[in-house]
Every structure is written in C-alpha cells, then in structure tokens.
Amino acid sequence: MIYDYVIVGAGSAGCIVAERLSASGRYSVLLLEAGGPDTSLWFKVPIGYAKLYYDSAHNWMYYSEPEPELGGRSVYCPRGKVQGGSGSINAMIYVRGAARDFDDWAAAGNPGWSYREVLPYFRKLESHPLGDTEYHGADGPVRITSMKDDVHPICERFIEGCTQLGYPHNADFNGERLAGAGVYDINTRNGRRDSSSAAYLHRAGARPNLTIEHHAHATRLLFDARRRACGVEVTQGGVTRTFAARREVIVAAGAVDSPKLLQLSGIGPRAILARHGIDVLCDSPAVGRNLQDHLCVSFYYRARVKTLNDAFRSWTGKLKFAVQYLTKRNGPFSISVNQAGGFFATVAGQTDPRVQIYFNPLSYKIPKSSRSPLTPEPYSGFLVAFNACRPTSRGSIEIASARAEDVPLIRGNYLSTQEDRDEVVRGARLVRELMQAPALKAITEEEVTPAASVTDDASMLRYFREQSGSIYHLCGTCAMGPDPRNAVVDARLRVHGVTGLRVIDASIFPNITSANTNAPTMMVAEKGAAMVLEDAEADQASAASSDRAGVQAAAAISS
C-alpha cells in the first residue's frame, strides 16, 4: 500500500499529526502503532493510571542502565505501548512550562519556536475553562479541567502555607507566569482522560483517507537511492510488511524509540552503527544524544487529619469513590493523584522557577514490580515530592543490537553535573522550609521519611541518590537545531542529511521544559503538522508554477 504520509507512533504527538494531516481529505495517511487500541476502561478512568503503571501489555516498562551517580540503580522508565502512547497512561498533569523554555529553543537557532510563536499552537489544541483569552483557547480538541473543586481539603493547607512564607498563589500555571503554588490543571473531559487519542484520533477514525495499523512494530525506515525516505518496514503478527510513502515519513515514536528507529535505519553515530553491523546511511552524531529527564524524590508525612490514605485503604472507601465517579463523574477517581504543587526559585534573585513541587494527599510507596499493587501508607499521610525544573545532566539512547525487538540502552546520566547535585540540596531545603509554615505544621504530626536520616546537605544528597526516580519526562534525543553535528532535525523538524523524513515528538526538544512534558509535546505536534501542510502547499504551488511555465514555453515555441 502507498500513502501520502506514513506516521510511526500513535502517541501524544502522532495522534495529533495524523488527525491534522487527514482533516482536509486531500492526503492519504497511515498511522502505525506498535501497541493496541485504547478501548479498555482503564484508559478512560483517570485512576486507571495506577493500574497501568506496570501493565506490560500496554507499557514498554523500560529501565535505564545502572546509573553511576545513583549508586548503580536502574531507573524505571514507563512508556505507553498503546494508541495514545504515554499520554494514555500518564497522570494527566497539564502544564506548558516557562516562557523562557521556548525562548531558549529559538535562541538555539530555531526560528519560529519562541514562546510567543508557539503560544498560538498551545491555544489551538485546548478547550480551557477560562475561555478564549490571551493565554488560552476555548474550542480546541483537548479539554482542560481544573481540579480545584475536587482536590482533597489539605491541598488548600499547602497553598496557604506557601503564601504564609511569601510565595504567591498561582491560579493558572499556564497563564502569565509559572511561579507560585496552586492546584494543577489536567486534561480530562467530563471525568474521563482526554488524551490526544481520545481528543483527536477518535473523531478522525472513520475518515476514509486515514488508516490505523495496530500491533505494527516498526523495524526500519526505507530510503531510495537519493536518500529520500520512501517507506517503513514493520513486523505485524509475526509477518514483515512494508508501507510506502509518496510525500513523507514522520517518526513520532517518542524520546526512546524515535532515536532507536533512526539508528536501526542507518541514521546515527557512525561508531554505534558500525558496532552493530548497520550500514551508515547518514553519520548523524546527535541521534540518541541529549537525553533529558526530571528526577524526583518524595518526603513522607504523617498527618493529624484524614487523607486519601484512610479512604483508599478500605474497600468501603474505594466503593464510595467508585459510586461517586459512576453517578457524578467527579471525586478522586476523576482526577490525578498529583493534585497541588507549584514552581519555586531556590536562590534569591532568580527570575525563573528552578524546582517543581507536587503535594499529594495520598502517600504511597512506588511498587517495585507488577506483582506489588500501589498501596497507601498504613496511616493518615501525604507526601511532598520535588524535582529540578531544568536539569543540566545529559544522557543517551543507544540501540543494543541490530534487532528491532531488543530493548535500547537508556542512560539517563542523572546527577552528573555539580549544578544538578546542588539543586537537589536546594530542593530539599525548600521542602523542609515549606513544611514549617503554620498552615502545614498544624496538620502534620511528623516527617516519616527521610526524617532524622537527613540532617545536612550530604545526607540529603545521599537520600536523593538512593530513593529518587524519574517523573517520566524523557526528551531531547533527536534535538532540533541548525548544526547536524549536535542536532538531528532543523527548525521545520526535517532530519538533517536525508529528505522526506521528519521527527515530531518530545525527542526534538533542544532543552527540557520546566514542567510536565505532555502539553509541550502536543504543541510540537500541532506546530509540526502545520509545517508539513505548509510545505505540501508550497510544493504544489511550485509544481503548478512549473507546469504553467512549461505550457508558456511550449506555446512560445509553437508560435
């Protein structure tokens, strides 16, 4: 089969690109997804996040290589293996990041990617409760919901405590500024997860010019003699199939699998390709480099008041919430487990937030395997987690072999810079400072963990090394930039060194954004799709102009 566009990956970005390219009906589009459809109830109910955390049927369940600065621990990196990708299994927090994040993208040699230039695409994708404003859209596909009416009451104590210490209350992290404390927005519609699959692809599924192939695992990209991408090879049901593209191949497989697919296809660092016997199509040293992520750690507290721990520890409490959800589409089952938080400077005089905090009215230990359910702590409790907004450590993604079925080598290289190690200490001090606010002291009986084991900077860093984990914001491994020596795609997301190939997903981030990465990934998809359509229009206009010129020349000759 031949299509105008073949897209690899139906994740947060791929679903949007497929819908936008097929919307006019002028182009045939094929969307390839290694996982299955997102039809299960667990993808719709927000609390399903806990169920999907270790679900190997819908989650790649990747782990990093042993991390030198984390005591040799491997870090868990869940990735969605289902239509909707990681946006179908994440905690749904919707935050764009700081304006500076995108201004830095533009400053790195990427015209068109400053905050003011990407803001229209954020507005385009969302339907926000504040309506059509300078910062928000009113009629986009993705419904944004504030959790303020459903959060647990102790979240208000957190916000009050922050304001008591002079930190501002921020009612809209996606508005004029990022800094301050408040309640997070989430992407839900009437109590259901509104992933890009639900918001975009479900409405486009019946289009005759859009084909979706599930359980189609891409093994390599295909190129013609001119190094133009012309198709994709996949394995599906044990059978090898190929799909051809007339116009472009678009890789949207995510920060782990997009660089992996490029390397398997001969686009990557020459030394890595040679090591695995892969013919070099394009020596691209940046493919798989520049991996960035947010690494966090949690502080656990015993509360003097009831928290979600009390309700979730009993079947009667869970049943009550289930009935509330089924009858009213609200309550704890309808929102994220991460409810309040904020963005804070850690050094006097800083103009941009350096640390993100999550205030969670449910305290639980992350399970170590799929056999261990996510269980609340056996007391009334809550947790406070933090991560650095803009870590400076850089890791990599590298194929483990020439076999597409082999898991790639993920090296986060976490805490490899002194700045990141210093930020860990500053973040810990901030948490301890916030917990001394009168509003929080009034509801807190004790710090359970790390408690007395952390008394100074050295022990805080040690605690972080031993207990930290990813917040699953991997990005940057096919970075955007003008120089092929340190970037993979140009400002129009076209892969350097070949033609007919783009990457449109979180892997193109030059630097990680200061907050959760799903919102900016969807923005990249909106802007990327617009670029593809603009270039198609330009190509057609150029072809029409050439045809007219040819007709005029022929007429002149004949006369």
Write phi, then psi, for 236 (nearest 5 degrees).
-145, 115
Q: Is 74 helix (H, G, I), strand (E, B) or coil?
A: coil
Task: Give the residue among 93, 94, 83 at the shortest CA–CA distance from 43.
Answer: 83
Rg, C-alpha atoms of the chain: 24
Q: Alpha-carbon distance 78 to 95, whole Å?
A: 20
Q: CB of 273 within 8 A of CB of 265? A: no
Q: Alpha-carbon distance 179 to 94, whole Å?
A: 15
In the numeric block, which tokens belong to residue 307? 């928290």
Q: Alpha-carbon distance 19 to 46, whole Å?
A: 24
- Helix-strand-coil split of the chain, %, nearest 5: 35, 25, 45
| End-to-end Cα separation, the chain, in angstroms | 44
Task: Give the residue among 528, 463, 464, 522 at the shortest CA–CA distance from 493.
Answer: 528
Give the pairing of strands 295-303 and 444-449: antiparallel
Task: Give the residue among 119, 147, 121 at the shortest CA–CA distance from 135.
Answer: 119
> Which region, left, alpha or beta, applies to residue 472 given φ > 0 means left and ψ of -120 to 50 means alpha?
left
Q: Alpha-carbon distance 338 to 383, whole Å?
A: 10
Q: CB of 32 within 8 A of CB of 249? A: no
Q: Which residues pair with 291 in a beta bridge?
A: 395
Query: For the purposes of burial, counting CB atoms within 10 Å of the CB of 177, is it exposed (0-12), middle (13-18) or buried (19 or more)?
Result: middle
What does each C-alpha distance from 167 to 161, 350, 458 come to in angstroms?
A: 9, 13, 27
Residue numbers annotated as active site: 473
